[in-house]
Structure 1
Amino acid sequence: MRMVLHCGFHKTGTSSVQRMLERDRALLSAEMQIALKAEIRTAALAARAWSASGDPAKMSAYIYDLALFFESLDADDPRPLCLSSEDLCGLMPGRKALRDYRAAAALLPALANVACEVFPSADLTFYFSTRAPEPWVKSCYAQHLRASGIRDDFATYRAQYLPLADLDADIARINEAMPQHRVRQAALESMTGRLGPLDPLLDLVGISAGLRAQIAPLPPANTSLPQEVRDALLALNRRKMDSGERAARKQEIVRAARKEQKQSSAPKPLKG
């Protein structure tokens, strides 16, 4: 079975890719199998946990859950598999004191080993979307504000993590750890085609031009929040309050901001 495994990285257009794949599953099923976060949720959670702890039990759980996923696939299905989940590289740097994606150099070879055990003739291509350091660090920080209790302002975070923002180095470590498999990458800034970040992935899968032409582009997902919203999230992180209440308040703030962004970007009715 031929497999294209889009395993990273966070904040490089992955959400936009996954939204389009999910929306057009039925259409794309003519030429490819699709697996997203829902299909490998337990394995992804174990990958995240192992990246933070190094606990051998978490690695064992990760391998076991991957085996269940691959064994659920039909060995006689001739369509290539496209799997997309950035969590298979572990947690985003900045969470749990992680400074890079070094864990991926162990997690992804383990994934490859499981895939090849289940499908001895498997043909694997690992694909990574990347991003320039400055916008990537800024986007990661905004994500941490939403999803974690980070209390540093952006200047402090940037000073710590910008010198470490080298996704090419992460890919080089992954490539060195599994030289028998293809590793490909594309920069978000270069994805200027009609389907944006989905285009390089469809190129690797080999989707026909006719089928690709039927896919409608979507606006970018998880776009940057306004500065005043980021300030409000940081203020909540710095307050002493129940974690559940903080999470709920943050969700309300982000939901309201997204609603406003959607309304402001909607086409205005013509005045007659």
Structure 2
Amino acid sequence: MPRRIILHPGFHKTGTSSVQATLRANRAILKPHAALRLRWHMKDLLHATRGYSTWRDPITLLKVEHRFESLLEALPPMPRRTLVISAEELAGHMPGRGDLADYSAAPTLIFAMWQIAQRRFPKAEFSVHLSTRAPESWLRSAYWEHVNSSSMTLDLETFTARYAPAAQLDTMVSDIAARLPCPVQHVSLESCHGLPLGPATPLLELCALPANVVSKLVQPPLVNVRPPAEVLQALLDANRQHADDPQARRRAKTAILEQADIA
């Protein structure tokens, strides 16, 4: 049984990729003290959480529960270690995908995971760590992420007007905390500037690591950095020019990224 469990289920575009990169870069140092389960460890579970955020049906929620339980069942013994589970898609898809307007599936998803963890490891301390971001900054980042990774053709102004409620991440944190009988910590991306390990710092503090371990942790280079404005505009133009031809769109966007030396 783990000594404590820390669940980090998002949100998207709040430094989560940097958190996971930091955890991965330091996994050898952390191993005696913390077991890590990151998004590449739970692809089936994340497929189900994304599905539930879209469909909100009981069958998909059962899949989430079964796959999260399987994740815990597969853990090795770790009586003195902390289990860190980090993946932004544990909260579902990023809002902005068609009719998906917000993170309102997250309280149900996270509560289900807490129930399963509590049942399996009743003596383990369980806490939730959520990362947030200022609304305007989040909307802009989410918009360009959709342009980059999907077929988004909306302009930024329309996207912002349509999905503004999704950017109220502090409100969603309150909704999640109201549902859970366990500690819920949230830290804004803006408040992490200047911290030794950036947005990973508050999460690692929850692990209660020995000082001599903390002193050895390193911060890797930035990941998931937004492409330059001219590249993003070219990607948006490609989405619009090839709106009805996914293959042509994919080829055009690949060529844009390769020319910009980003692919």
TM range (shorter): over 0.9
Aligned to 1:54: 56
Identity of aligned residues (%): 36
List 4+ stretches of structure 1 deviating above 4 A: none
TM-score, length of structure 2 as denominator length: 0.92
Structure 1: give runs of 5+ residues left out of the alignment: 261-272
Distance 1:188 1:71, change over 3 A: same
Deviations 1:14-53 (A, max 9, x none): 0011112112211210211111011121111100011011
Aligned to 1:250: 253
In the TM superposition, 1:92-171 aligns within 5 A as 92-162=94-164, 164-171=166-173
Aligned to 1:181: 182
Give 1:223 shift.
Answer: 1.7
Which of 16, 27, 30 aligns to 1:28? It is 30
Give 1:259 shift.
Answer: 4.2
> Is 1:42 matched up with 2:69?
no
Task: Tell me the amino acid that sits aligned with residue 49 of structure 1.
Answer: G
TM-score, length of structure 1 as denominator length: 0.89
Task: State the distance in 1 between where 2:108 and 2:236 align.
Answer: 33
Distance 1:208 1:139, change over 3 A: same
Contact kept, 8 Å, 2:95 with 2:166, in 1: the verdict is no
SS state at 1:33 partner: strand
Task: State the distance in 1 between where 2:28 and 2:248 align.
Answer: 39
Contact kept, 8 Å, 2:35 with 2:83, in 1: the verdict is yes
Give 1:237 shift.
Answer: 1.1
Deviations 1:132-157 (A, max 9, x none): 11111110001101122111111221
Give 1:98 shift.
Answer: 1.6
Distance 1:8 1:227, change over 3 A: same
Contact kept, 8 Å, 1:8 with 1:85, in 2: the verdict is yes
Distance 1:73 1:164, change over 3 A: closer
Give 1:219 shift.
Answer: 3.0
SS state at 2:96 partner: coil
SS state at 1:218 partner: coil
Task: Tell me the amino acid that sits aligned with residue 92 of structure 1.
Answer: M
Which moved further from structure 2: 20-29 or 139-148? Answer: 20-29
Task: Tell me the amino acid that sits aligned with residue 253 of structure 1.
Answer: I
SS state at 1:8 partner: coil
